Chains A and B, each alone.
Chain A
Amino acid sequence: MRLALELALAQLLRRRRQGVVSVLGVTLGVGFFIAMAAMMQGFQRDFVARVIDVQPHVVVKDEFRRRPAQAAELAAGPRAAVELRGEKPVDEPRGIRGARAIAAALGDMPGVAVAPNLAGQVFLRYGTREVAATLTGIDPEAERRVGNLERDLVEGSLDALHVVANGLVLGEALARKLGARSGTTLSLSGTQGVVLKAKVVGVFRTGITSLDTSVAYALLAKAQVVLERPNVVNQLRLRLVDPEGARDFALRVEERFGYRSESWQESNANVLGIFVIQRAIMYSTIGAILVVAGFGIFNVVSTVAWEKARDIAILKSIGFRERDILAVFLLQGLLVGVAGMVLGWVLGFLIVAFMGSLRFEIEGFVRLQGFVLHRTPLHYAASGAFALATSALAAWIPARRAARADPVDILRGAT
């Protein structure tokens, strides 16, 4: 094997320029793989971490996934063919029935914290500006157990909700849209026509754009007044010790109580779906770079094999076996792959270091002050494995042809 390696290296060094180009192809593929993977996975993990940190892990809502059975269906059974006209559907009144009991039952489970809320659409008016927002009525004590709202406050406090009549806590971007800040009094109107004067007692910033631009918090009792739904709770927000298990937990809750229970994964399905597409785009781009690099390797190995036809004949006449010849040419491709891989690791490391040093503000799904980079040896291992596999495959095709060449055919042509 050492002999094959020496021969491979010697032959490759005779084709220095082509070899260098092929190495650079692999280098770029591996380098960008590492850089893009660090950037994308960093961003995605950051988003998920923030979501888990800020949002409730499961929300039980006053909705049903399946339309409730209608009177006629109940009367005739599920298999009957019934046609009724002018039927009036039986609608559940909005709100979670027996919310207190459900909350108590959930709160008794180990590793689960519950906060009952009432959420609804309101308009906030300040001067000439009017902005639609989601008003969430909370109990500050319970809220502390299910989220980090208090930590995310940039102004004011949650306790001020108790102190100030009609106190309101706004998302930072929402406050900016209104031109409001702590102490501002604005008007709050519900969809049923109730209008209250409310005073901003706090501003929060979670970093998740959708929350910061559209959510306002008030005491549960005040929200019930504004939304004209006394004693109604339409959301139970749960926080779990194990956020990854939220999906299963939500399913179990829904099975038991019937109400639609959304895990954070479901609530953010659109963003998580975009992540999947992002990953697909990244891997196909990197794949394309490496395929091009593979063509470079194919090219250099085929050229060498073509030029070396006589040498192959002489090696065979000396007593080299097919697999010895195969090894010589396969190793040339692998040498290119290994060199490209190592240089690519260096390149990737440098790009990641450079991106890490950049500072800028950007607001997308979340607010960022630069690239969030995820550094892991896994990216190096994966890109390396991919590069070596590509190189081996690209070299294998011409190498096998060289190995199978009939020395007599070559000798007849040469002499």
Chain B
Amino acid sequence: MSDRAPIVAARGVTRVLGGAVPATLVRDVDMEVAAGEFVAVTGPSGSGKSSLLYLLGLLDRPTRGRVLFDGVDTAGLGGDALAALRLARMGFVFQFHFLLPELGVLDNVALPMRRLGRLAAAGAEARALGLLARLGLADHARKSPDQLSGGQRQRVAIARALANDPVLILADEPTGNLDSASARLVFDVFASLAAEEGRAVVVVTHDEELARRATRRLRMVDGAIVPSGAPPAGTGAAGA
């Protein structure tokens, strides 16, 4: 996979949070993620994992350095252009499911499709149903999010992240609130998204055991990526 062009790349990225006492959240990070890669970012709380994820997801802009998406420097893009990239090319999953409580499960999943407007209403609904079925939630499509368990909600959030068939999936502690069985299930989904569908997946987690299932691990301490114990040798399950 290393021969593939990276989907997203950080080049000397530093993010300083202004304020009375400026805090450096991310320090001089160089990294890239290619299609089919499942990258786990680990590290203690406050090490800058989430901040790095927001930078890769174009939700935040670096203080110094560049973030390239599909080879394009995003520094030159305006807010609307970044929003358009997030809409069509990325999917986010957060620790809290963040489903909209006013909408049903199906409508939550269809929301990004409707915003993008490529599919007609019927098409969007069919695709949303398909995604839910894939995540084992076909029976819950007509329910309200608050009728579901935490693990189910998180899977709905993943279905929503997949709505517009993104090339990059970014997840911030997606299993943080889940029991271990649900957590494993969610990680299985991420692994297959990368390995079987060739998407780039970046997951921030502090669960080292789960992180081991990634194809690559990055460890962060104090905002910088540090060499971790040699990653599992084996390798690219992708492609093929």
Residues of A within 8 A of B (CB): 3, 7, 10-11, 13-14, 310-311, 313-314, 316-322, 324, 407-408, 411-412, 414-415
B89 and chain A: residue at smallest CB distance: A319
Q: How far is the CB of B17 from chain A (nearest CB, A)?
A: 9
Known: A319-B83, A321-B83. 4 other contacts (CB 8 A): A3-B115, A11-B102, A321-B79, A411-B54
Residues in B with CB closer than 8 Å to A13 are 102
Min CB–CB distance A391 → chain B (angstroms): 21
* CB neighbours of A407 from chain B (8 A): 59
Query: Would A310 and B98 be within 8 Å (CB), given that A3-B115, A319-B116, A320-B115 are in contact?
Result: yes
Contact of A411 (CB < 8 Å), options: B50, B83, B101, B112: B50
Docked pose: A131 CA to B173 CA in angstroms: 97
Q: Which 9 A-B pairs have the closest CB atoms?
A: A319-B87, A10-B102, A314-B98, A319-B86, A317-B92, A321-B83, A408-B60, A318-B112, A408-B54
Q: Interface code B82-114, partner A: CB below 8 Å = 1, 0 otherwise?
A: 011111101010111010111100000001101
Residues of B within 8 A of A316 (CB): 59, 83, 86
Main secondary structure of the interface of A (DSSP, over half): helix
Q: Which chain B residues numbered 158 to 214 have a C-beta less than 8 Å away from chain A?
A: 160, 172-173, 176
Q: What are 26 inter-chain pairs, A to B, with CB distance below 8 A?
A: A3-B115, A7-B100, A7-B103, A10-B100, A11-B102, A310-B96, A313-B98, A314-B100, A316-B83, A318-B86, A318-B92, A318-B112, A319-B85, A319-B112, A319-B116, A320-B83, A321-B79, A321-B80, A321-B83, A322-B79, A408-B60, A411-B54, A411-B59, A411-B172, A415-B94, A415-B173
Residues of A within 8 Å of B116, CB to CB, are 319
The answer on a CB contact under 8 Å between B79 and A311 is no
CA distance A311 to B80 in the complex (A): 18
| CA–CA, A142 and B61, complex, Å | 89
Contact flag A411-B94 (CB < 8 Å), given A317-B59, A318-B111, A319-B115: yes
**Nearest A residue (CB) for B15:** A408
Max chain B Cβ within 10 angstroms of own Cβ: one of A7, A10, A316, A321:
A321
Q: Are B114 and A317 in contact (CB under 8 A)?
A: no
Q: Once bound together, how far apart are the Cα atoms of A13 and B103, in whole Å?
A: 12
Alpha-carbon gap, A11 to B102, bound state (A) = 6
Does B57 sit at the interface, judged by CB under 8 A?
Answer: yes
Q: In the complex, what residues of A have CB within 8 A of residue B80's CB?
A: 321-322
In the assembled complex, the CB of A316 is this many whole angstroms from the nearest CB of chain B, namely 7
**Mask: chain B, 37-78; 1 = CB below 8 Å from A; 0 = not:** 000000000000011001001011000000000000000000
The residue that B96 contacts in the complex, of A14, A318, A414, with Cβ under 8 A, is A414
Q: Residue on A with the closest CB to B101? A: A14
CA gap between A317 and B116 in the complex, in Å? 13
Output the least CB separation between B239 and chain A (Å): 28
Residue of B50, B83, B88, B96 contacting most chain A CB atoms (<10 Å) = B83
Within the assembled complex, what's the spacing in Å between the Cα atoms of A34 and B177? Answer: 56
Determine whether the beta carbon of B172 is less than 8 Å from that of A10: no
- Chain B residues near A317 (CB-CB < 8 A): 57, 59, 86, 92, 94
Query: Do residues B95 and A319 form an inter-chain contact, with CB atoms below 8 A?
Result: no
Complex: how many Å from CA A391 to CA B238? 55
Question: Given the complex of chains A and B, what is the CA–CA distance between A319 and B58 in angstroms?
Answer: 10
Option from A14, A321, A324, A415 in Cβ contact (under 8 Å) with B95: A415
Knowing A13-B102, A14-B101, A408-B59, say if A324 contacts B115 (CB, 8 Å).
yes
Q: Which residues of B contact A320 (CB under 8 A)?
A: 83, 87, 115
- A415 CB contacts on chain B under 8 angstroms: 50, 94-96, 172-173, 176
Given A3-B114, A324-B115, answer yes or no on A311-B100 (Cβ-Cβ < 8 Å): yes
Chain A, residue nearest B91 (CB)? A318
User: A412–B15 Cα gap in the complex (Å)?
Assistant: 14
Q: Collect the chain A residues with CB atoms within 8 Å of residue B92's CB.
A: 314, 317-318
Residue of B with least CB distance to A321: B83
- Interface centre among B50, B59, B85, B114, by most chain A C-beta atoms within 10 angstroms, is B59
A40 vs chain B, min Cβ distance (A): 44
Chain A residue numbers with a CB within 8 Å of B85 are 319
Complexed CA–CA distance, A243 and B36 (Å): 87
Q: In this complex, what residue of B is CB-closest to A14? A: B102
- Asked whether A318 and B87 contact (CB < 8 A) given A310-B96, A311-B98, A408-B59, the answer is yes
Distance from A33 Cβ to chain B, minimum over Cβ atoms (Å): 33
Please indicate the chain A residues that have their CB under 8 angstroms from the CB of B57 in the complex.
317
Closest to B173 in A: A415
Q: Which residues of B contact A10 (CB under 8 A)?
A: 100, 102-103
Instruction: Determine the distance from Cα of A408 to Cα of B54 in the docked complex, in whole angstroms.
Output: 7
How far does the alpha carbon of A414 sit from the alpha carbon of B239 in the complex, in Å?
A: 37
Tell me, in angstroms, the Cα distance from A318 to B170 when the chains sit together. 11
Q: Which residues of A contact B176 (CB under 8 A)?
A: 415
How many angstroms between the C-alpha atoms of A314 and B96 in the bound complex?
10
Which of A3, A11, A319, A415 is most buried by chain B, counting CB atoms within 10 A of its CB? A319
Which residue of the partner chain A has the closest CB to B117?
A3
Provide the bound-state CA to CA distance between A313 and B116, in Å.
Answer: 17
